Structure 1
Amino acid sequence: MRINLTSVWVDDQARALGFYTEKLGFVKKTDVPAGEYRWLTVVSPENPTGVELLLEPDGHPAAKPLKSALVADGIPFTSFAVDDVHAEYERLQAAGVLFTQPPVDHGPVTTAVLDDTCGNLIQIAQYKA
């Protein structure tokens, strides 16, 4: 068994696609109309056949309160692995990405937290060998 798909709830799929591709560097994999929304996924350019991230509309009644509570408490919705948190932090800041937490060393992992512009905090993490 392996993870095939995971999702992040977004308040605007078009804005999310722009942010996740143009700022974070993911690439669009699937874009299929699904009623008033789209089945819209992105993948890492380093592994285009790997895990897909669904940019899922946050229309379910539970989604917005959960997202708001996580943001209010400073808790990231999900985490993405990077090779060098400091380099990614600098690259993303230069691209205009807002961070709520600069890189912090937690022993076996260094993390930073960014705002995805779609109602979520996202962690980037560098795991040390």
Structure 2
Amino acid sequence: MRIYVTSVFVDDQEKALDFYTRVLGFQKKHDVPLGGPRWLTVVAPEQPEGPQVLLEPDGHPAVGPYKKALADDGIPAASFAVDDVQAEHDRLTALGVRFTQPPTEMGGNTTAVFDDTCGNLIQIIAL
């Protein structure tokens, strides 16, 4: 069993696509119209055939309270691996990304958490 697609609920797919590609550096994989929302996925450029992140619309009534509860409690909705958390923190901060947790050593790993502008906190980690 392998991860094929995982979802991040977003409040605006176009805004999310811009942030996840232009700012984070992912590449668009699929953009399929579905009569309003789209099947919109991004992948790491180093893994174009690897796991996809679905930028999934957050229109279901349960999603809003779920996203808010996670964000209010400081819980990331997703975690992405990077080579160097401090370097990525510096790069993203220069692009205007707001971090809720600066690079922090945790159990032998360094993590940081930022706001993805779409209602989620996202963790980056160097393993």
TM-score by length of 2: 0.98
Q: Deviations over 1:22-61 (max 9, x none)?
A: 0000000000101211100000001000000000000111
Taking the aligned partners of 1:114 and 1:94, their CA distance within structure 2 comes to 13
Partner letter of residue 65 of structure 1? P
Q: Which residue of 2 aligns with 1:117?
A: 117
Partner letter of residue 61 of structure 1? P
Taking the aligned partners of 1:47 and 1:104, their CA distance within structure 2 comes to 27
Q: Which residue of 2 aligns with 1:64?
A: 64
* 2:88 is the counterpart of 1:88: yes
1:12-91 equivalences under 5 Å are: 12-91=12-91
Aligned residues: 127
Taking the aligned partners of 1:100 and 1:64, their CA distance within structure 2 comes to 20
Q: Return the offset for 1:125.
A: 0.5
Displaced runs of 4+ in structure 1, greater than 6 A? none
For residue 47 of structure 1, give the secondary structure of its aligned residue in structure 2. coil
Q: Return the offset for 1:2.
A: 0.8
Taking the aligned partners of 1:106 and 1:78, their CA distance within structure 2 comes to 17
Partner letter of residue 64 of structure 2? K
TM-score by length of 1: 0.97
Q: Return the offset for 1:107.
A: 2.5
* RMSD value, Cα: 0.6
Extract unaligned runs of 5+ from structure 1: none
Taking the aligned partners of 1:109 and 1:47, their CA distance within structure 2 comes to 23
* 2:12 is the counterpart of 1:9: no
